[in-house]
């Protein structure tokens, strides 16, 4: 049995707006962009938790000492690919034995 869901997605990074039809058929999830009467399959968007650097406090929006906070963002496939290439800290390892590097470290 297939299930259907229509929603509007807005990328939190580039602000791209897309009407999306998400449906499940035969245990597979399909994403389609809806443009008028036409539908075409697209790469699924990401709904992920990211550490974000804030430079304003969140009550009044006034400048403050920068701090990190984890926020859930909706990210389009294009911005997700760009993030993978720009992310400043990279981790390697497994089962808790990880090493971390600043992405610019290998360029020094």
Residue 108 has pLDDT above 50, yes or no: no
Residue 39 has a pLDDT of: 67
Residue 78 has pLDDT above 50, yes or no: yes
Percentage above 90 pLDDT, the chain? 19
Q: What is the pTM of this model?
A: 0.69
Same domain, 57 and 79: yes
Is there a contact between 9 and 31 (Cβ–Cβ < 8 Å)?
no
Buried b (16+ CB within 10 A) or exposed e, 15-48: eeebebbbeeeeeeeebbeeeeeeeeebeebeee
| Residues 32, 36: Cα–Cα separation, whole Å | 12
Residue 72 has a pLDDT of: 92
| Residues of the domain holding 78 | 46-102
Question: How many domains does the chain contain in total?
Answer: 2
Residue 64 has a pLDDT of: 93
pLDDT in tens, 8-20: 888 999 998 888 7
Same domain, 81 and 95: yes
Same domain, 76 and 91: yes
- Burial of 96 (C-beta count, 10 Å sphere; 0-12/13-18/19+): exposed
Query: Would residue 69 count as lying in a domain?
Result: yes
């Amino acid at each position: 049995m297939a299930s259907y869901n229509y929603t509007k997605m807005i990328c939190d990074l580039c602000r791209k707006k897309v009407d999306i039809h998400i449906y499940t058929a035969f245990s597979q999830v399909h994403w389609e962009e809806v443009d008028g009467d036409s539908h075409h399959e697209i790469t699924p968007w990401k709904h992920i938790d990211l550490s974000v650097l804030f430079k304003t406090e969140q009550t009044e929006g006034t400048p403050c000492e920068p701090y990190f906070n984890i926020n859930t963002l909706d990210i389009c496939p294009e911005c997700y690919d760009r993030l993978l290439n720009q992310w400043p800290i990279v981790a390697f390892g497994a089962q808790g034995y990880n090493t971390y590097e600043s992405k610019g470290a290998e360029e020094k």
